[in-house]
Chain A
Amino acid sequence: MLKKITVTVNETPHHLEVEPRLLLVHMIRELLNLTGTHIGCDTTSCGACTILLNGKSVKSCTILAVQANGKSITTIEGLAPEGGPLTPLQEGFKENHGLHCGFCTPGMILRATELLARNNNPTEEEIRWGISGNLCRCTGYNNIVKAILYASAKMRGEALPSTEPEFV
């Protein structure tokens, strides 16, 4: 039996009728055509499907669309206004080569968005633990960590760290 739900996605309310077994990630990608939220492992491991649900980062492959009824969702498409300035994290990823193939990037950025909302001055270790539920199969973690450090400095209004690539 279809269930009627109302979800606010990127500040736009949507009234949908969904099967209870519909996963949130499929609702986002297939019913709302917001394909920036990716499906990687489909087993709660990789974090590519990470979105914000009422401000908390969650893996949308392991939540039912009906569980989001009455809640607010932010996907990667909702972070910066169309044509407007990037968020500090998006800018950080751009400036620090924080993405290689880009597949993990939306999940990384949404996870880091909550991380920095809780703590805008994390240590490198806190960042690495903070993104421990997100896999980058290009193994580009060093630049991802740099990107998050850059964004945290920007959010605190402090001098921005160097964006020169490291050769190791």
Chain B
Amino acid sequence: MIAQSFQYESPGTLAEAISMLNKYGEEAKILSGGHSLIPMMKLRLATPEWLIDINGIPGLSDIKKEGDVIKIGALTTEADIEHSDLLKKHFPLFADVTKLIADPQVRNVATIGGNLAHGDAANDHPAVMLALHATIIATGSGGKRSIPIDEFFQGFYMTALQHGEILTEIQIPVPSAGTGSAYHKLERKVGDYATAGVAVQLTLDGNDVCNSAGIGLTNVNPIPLRASRSEQALTGKRLTDETIEEAARYASEDCSPSSDLRGSEEYKRHLVAVLVKRMIRKAAERARK
């Protein structure tokens, strides 16, 4: 399958890329890993007239800790995330999630920035970033802008990114001691989208009381969903079978999955409840270590 003809630019600086975006208008698309965009172009579901390849722009693929924040450059690949000791140390869920994203060859190319900017509720990082309370940094001609993750996903394949802006960085608060995180998705086979996926991050005190909770859901809602009632059900409470059960029930009630080849709505709601319970337990186990 061959994409419709387009013009290709590979700017060497962010300023150049942004001025190209402004010059070419709505007909321009950013190319990072391209592993969502190129398949869509081959199917002619996307037909941009200009592709602006940002891979030649230096400084967009670092993972670093600055004060209380971990900063991940938008061009960081899934494989870089998989092998990052810094991320492994603070966020055990990245080892869970990267292993389940597509396959090794795709992870060598696909980027975290692209995964988020695509705005697809079936992608895995949106739920992860909701659980981790991340902030998205967008850069445009007016400079940088911080977008809280809760304001980033605005609709079906729609994000808060304005035309002329490029997602350049993801910032995640360094979790305090006693924090654990976990992610799992059920997929029919390697490379499939999630039937349902759940990301959880919990901070526990010495008595197993949950000081804070973040829970994000994958592919069970038109836009990536924070399970707010589930988070509230855990916060300030001791983790018991009852509180975990309540959190799971809220998540299964508050999501809005559609019936498809991966399962019925009822099945997916059940699956969300099961995965929420399992991921809370797994995150708690890691938090206690």
Given contacts A42-B1, A56-B108, A57-B108, contact A133 B103 (CB under 8 A): yes
Once the chains bind, are A42 and B7 in contact (CB under 8 Å)?
no
- In the complex, whether A43 has a CB less than 8 A from a CB of chain B is yes
Q: Once the chains bind, are A62 and B38 in contact (CB under 8 Å)? A: yes
Q: Would you give the shortest CB distance from A61 to chain B, in whole angstroms?
A: 8
Interface string of A91-118 (1 = CB under 8 A from B): 0000000000000000000010011000
Q: Answer whether residue A45 sits at the interface, using C-beta atoms and an 8 A cutoff.
A: yes
Task: Say yes or no: is A124 at the interface (Cβ < 8 Å to chain B).
Answer: no
The answer to whether A44 and B108 touch (CB under 8 A), given A21-B4, A129-B99, A132-B190, is: no
Q: Which residues of chain A come closer than 8 Å to B109, judged between CB atoms?
A: 56, 58-59, 62-63
**A18 to chain B: closest CB distance in Å?**
10
Considering the chains assembled together, what is the distance between the CA atoms of A23 and B10 in angstroms?
17
CB pair B38–A64 under 8 Å, yes or no, is yes
Closest to A60 in B: B105
Question: What is the bound-complex CA distance between A21 and B5, given in angstroms?
Answer: 6
Q: Give the nearest-CB partner of B109 in chain A.
A: A58
Interface set, chain B 42-57, CB cutoff 8 A to A: 42, 51, 53, 55
Q: Does A35 contact B (CB under 8 A)?
A: no
From 14 to 61 in chain A, residues with beta carbon under 8 angstroms from any chain B beta carbon are 19-21, 23, 42-45, 47, 50, 56-59
- Please report the C-alpha to C-alpha distance between residue A23 and residue B42 in the assembled complex, in whole angstroms: 10
A130 within 8 A of B: yes
B8 interfacial by beta-carbon distance below 8 Å: yes
Extra contacts besides A59-B109, A133-B106 (10): CB < 8 Å: A44-B35, A45-B191, A47-B103, A47-B105, A59-B106, A67-B34, A129-B99, A133-B105, A133-B191, A134-B103
Interface residues of A, Cβ cutoff 8 Å to B: 1, 3, 19-21, 23, 42-45, 47, 50, 56-59, 62-64, 66-67, 69, 111, 114-115, 129-134
